[in-house]
Amino acid sequence: PYRDSKLTFLLRESLGGTARSVIVANVSPAEECAAETLRTLRFAASAKNIKCQVITSEPIPTSMDGLVREVRTLRRKLASATASSAL
């Protein structure tokens, strides 16, 4: 549903469902800007119609003790994975 543009490349995280985003479409009433205004409104309408699946992140431990336990757990898992692959 994305078009190939620099704007959608920059907004890929927001449009992909990992963040909330707001699009402000700046338009001009000037007649010489009618084509650009129409393109802007079409882009905003298509971006508004994009429906995403929400991706929730794992909760991050806030205390230092929790982080230390998490590092120890991950080191044990890495050590056991390394030992089993060496066999």
At residue 2, the pLDDT reads: 57
Higher pLDDT: 14 or 28? It is 28
Closest CA to 35 of 46, 23, 27: 27
Q: pTM higher than 0.75 for the full model?
A: no
Indicate whether 78 pLDDT > 90.
yes
Tokens found for residue 43: 């882009």
28-71 pLDDT, tens digit per residue, is: 999 999 999 999 999 888 877 777 666 666 776 677 888 888 89
At residue 49, the pLDDT reads: 79
Tokens found for residue 81: 């994975």
